Amino acid sequence: MSNRSKAFHCNVFILNCYDRAMKKIAVLTGAGISTSAGIPDFRGPDGVWTQHPDQMSVYNIDRFMGNKEDREYSWRWQKESPVWNAQPGAAHRALVDLEKAGMLTLLATQNFDALHEKAGNSSDVIVNLHGTIGTSHCMRCGKEYKTADIMEHLDETPDPRCTRMIPANGDIKERPCNGILKTDVVYFGEALPDGAMEKSMRLATRADEFWVIGSTLEVFPAASLVPIAAQAGVPITIMNMGHTPYDSLATRLISEPIQTALPALVADTIAGR
């Protein structure tokens, strides 16, 4: 074998060893990662629903589907909420760096603010356990809409309806669907997106580390990812400003501000420290 061929095979061997040594990190994010982006949490001591429990009705599927006034209020509340206009912060961008380094295999999020998408994480790793405000669908025919387009015309159309034209069928002429539009946030009374928990469990149990970032771990089934990963022998990191019910399962607890602590953790992980 020539020296050139030996060098080539040596380089391939080194790259393969590097790939095998690369840590696989699975992440679950909660409201705490977005508070620094100006979005208040929902269930904390000063959370939106703690202070104003009546506003939980904004995301009640029965009231949304059954009453025009409730539907209009829900749309208006969502447009005026900080969730809609928020921009990703340093913590969100750190997870983009982790993905670019080839180490992020799962980004399961309880948040529906679409900030992980805005920051630049890919759909390959993101699992929106509670849906997303970024897209909407017709509840009759299933047509997808960009929520931004709906919000742009909400003043003129406070109860948005589907504009998809239904093809003519016999004596029935072509007509608009006119179905109710709803954001792809999972409302109370709705099931989680198909396959979301199954994919999250599979990737969490196959990871080298499982990080929980800014979640109180009080909402199920998302919180169950921690004991499932722990039972599989995956080391758990919990980064949260308050205690969680699963702190005892963590091999590392971090209670520093997430907007600084997460970028530091990501940088150290990429550097192999």
In sequence order, which residues have a C-beta less than 8 Å from that of residue 215 and are 6 or more positions away? 28, 29, 30, 31, 32, 110, 222, 223, 240, 244
**153 among known catalytic residues:** no
Find where tokens 């990429």 sit: 270
Q: Could you give the dihedral angle defined by the CA atoms of residues 183, 189, 195 and 198, in that order, rounded to the nearest 10 degrees?
A: 130
Calculate the CA 68 to chain-centre distance: 29
Among 9, 116, 130, 153, the one annotated catalytic: 130
CA distance 114 to 111: 7
130-131-132 Cα angle (round to 5):
130
Residue 177: CB atoms within 10 Å: 16
The pair of structure tokens assigned to 98 is: 């982790």
Helical H runs in the chain? 3-21, 48-51, 61-66, 68-80, 82-85, 90-100, 115-119, 147-152, 196-206, 225-231, 258-271
Amino acid at 147: T
Q: Round to whole Å and give the CA distance between 33 and 92.
A: 7
Is 48 within 8 Å of 230 (Cβ atoms)? no
Contacts of 20 (CB under 8 A, 6+ apart): none
Catalytic residues: 130
